[in-house]
Chains A and B, each alone.
Chain A
């Protein structure tokens, strides 16, 4: 039963699974909002690993790992906000929130008005 597993074991493995899931999403999804969500899932996975480390054994939870998680969440929120702002800007410019696949568009060159 999951309830009987001690969090020191469950959280790191759960965290690793989330990390892998997020990585899959980041690589396979096209839409930028989904990719940003995938990065956030990866981040949650890393925080789960930290919390699992904090909760190991019978001693009271390790405050350092909890502080690291809090700091990490602050960084993740800022990075997400920035990524969303960039996505909105890109969607306004191009009309869709995806990165065009394939080689660099400018590779073909010879556009008359290159900035």
Chain B
């Protein structure tokens, strides 16, 4: 640990991890109080997180190392388990906190009945806490454990309603998650066998581009791509996301896939950067392009609103995969990619939760019969539209800024690249633009009936949280276009950046 890191920051890092573990434990011990523990705990933890971000930004310029590293129980790496906190970690913690808090306020009205509440809230907090610990851990084996905590609670949440669709979706999701986790663990075992350490920073210093690193990278990144639902490993996503309760599908689409992407990026920045070959860039770019086109086409023909929203997540993950070839050409572009994932996480959560509100109000979510509810529920339609505009990337939203920066980085990369790569890079740039066009089409498909003439019927009354939370998330995604600078500033202080 570097001497210039203030004690308060070390304490805050430990406290964040302790709260992420303590809240779910408390909620599991007193399930009948879990809702109160959850709402109060999440609100307080977001204040603590903002204070930590302040402390970090204050101290970061003077620190020797770009990351705060804390050995748990006084044991330092290589034997101890370390926590790792830097700008990228804080950005992901913030996204998790925002989506989880909005989802909690939403779930207050959505999850009714004391039996369901007792099951929902502890699992919900485990999902939040597991994701927090995932982004905080700086050790490959600990990453596996936190991956399992997060994915098992996510699977249980998908199965919450207990009907056939939900249990089938959960089972598919579980099998793919177990496969992905084991693949990740085998990769970690290979790295441990070769280098004798599990700490990511130490691994980064030791690893080069030998055959063991290649094999480990293939296993770990392959497992994570599966969990992130990158084409063609996306089949499980639509069933799981569409049959989950709305706050859960918001969290899954907004945060869980983003966390898998975070992990890919983290491993890439710290360990596997020497492996970035043109062939890998082309492969990821092709997968991303295929996901964009396939996911969008499915979203255009799906008969149910929640399935449209779920397939739009497949398409959006295609963007993220498209960002990697641009990243290999232009390594400095990675904060843009995180900014992109952040804006999309908020917008996706808004769209999925908005779709859940409409479904609850109408009693179904068949696209061809939603007209009356759409016409009567302007606030939710506005949230869908605003979130959608950010996904399309219209000016003044976070999505616009992200796509603009991504296109700029891609074109710069293309200008400097060898001739063979130039053509590919232009293809990625065209795909980013085409993806926006397709997104426009499926977002319009969702909201267009609201502008047609016809009867209006608000359907079943819904709680205030279910009306306002999608709007708040969508407004957050849009506002990032106007106030994105602080996030970019935070991301500058990240380990592994050349």
Contact = CB atoms under 8 A, between A and B. Distances in A.
B307 A106 contact: yes
A39 B165 contact: no
B486 to A, nearest CB: 38
Interface stretch (B10-18, B61-69, B154-162): B154-162
Contacts of B152: 78-79, 82
A106 B307 CA distance: 9
Contacts of A4: none
A46 B182 contact: yes
B467 interface: no
A78 B162 CA distance: 20
Interface string B169-205: 0111011001100100110011011000000000000
Nearest to A48: B189
Contacts of B282: none
Contacts of A21: none
A89 B167 contact: yes
A115 interface: yes
A46 B307 contact: no
A104 B239 contact: yes
Contact of A108 (B145, B172, B186, B303): B303
Interface in A27-85: 32, 35, 39, 42-43, 45-46, 49-50, 52-53, 56, 64-65, 68, 71-72, 75, 78-79, 82-83
A39 B179 contact: yes
A93 B163 contact: yes
Contacts of A107: 302-303, 307
A39 B182 contact: yes
A89 B166 CA distance: 11
Contacts of B155: 82, 86
Contact of A93 (B164, B185, B242, B307): B164
A5 to B, nearest CB: 17
Interface residues of A, number: 43
B167 A86 contact: yes
Contacts, number: 104
A99 B171 contact: yes
A56 B194 CA distance: 11
B148 A75 contact: yes
A13 to B, nearest CB: 12
A14 B192 CA distance: 18
Contact of B182 (A32, A43, A50, A108): A43
B366 A90 contact: no
A114 B365 CA distance: 8
B45 interface: no
Main secondary structure of the interface of A (DSSP, over half): helix
Main secondary structure of the interface of B (DSSP, over half): helix
A109 B366 contact: yes
B238 A104 contact: yes
Interface in B396-438: none
Nearest to A75: B148
B302 A83 contact: no
B179 A114 contact: no
A86 B159 contact: yes
Given A75-B148, A78-B152, A79-B152, A90 B303 contact: no
A110 B303 contact: yes
Contacts of B190: 49
A105 B238 CA distance: 11
Given A83-B178, A89-B162, A100-B168, A109 B193 contact: no
Contact of A19 (B156, B168, B186): B186
B304 interface: yes
Contact of A12 (B156, B174, B193): B193
Interface of B: 79, 141, 144-145, 148, 152, 155-156, 159, 161-165, 167-168, 170-172, 174-175, 178-179, 182, 185-186, 189-190, 192-193, 238-239, 242-243, 302-304, 307, 364-367
7 shortest A-B CB distances, which residue pairs? A109-B303, A53-B193, A114-B364, A49-B189, A90-B167, A93-B164, A39-B178
Given A71-B145, A93-B164, A104-B239, 10 more contacts: A12-B193, A26-B175, A39-B178, A53-B193, A68-B141, A104-B242, A105-B168, A106-B165, A110-B366, A115-B161
10 contacts: A32-B171, A43-B182, A46-B186, A68-B192, A93-B164, A94-B164, A99-B168, A104-B307, A107-B302, A108-B303
Interface of A: 12, 19, 23, 26, 32, 35, 39, 42-43, 45-46, 49-50, 52-53, 56, 64-65, 68, 71-72, 75, 78-79, 82-83, 86-87, 89-90, 93-94, 99-100, 104-110, 114-115
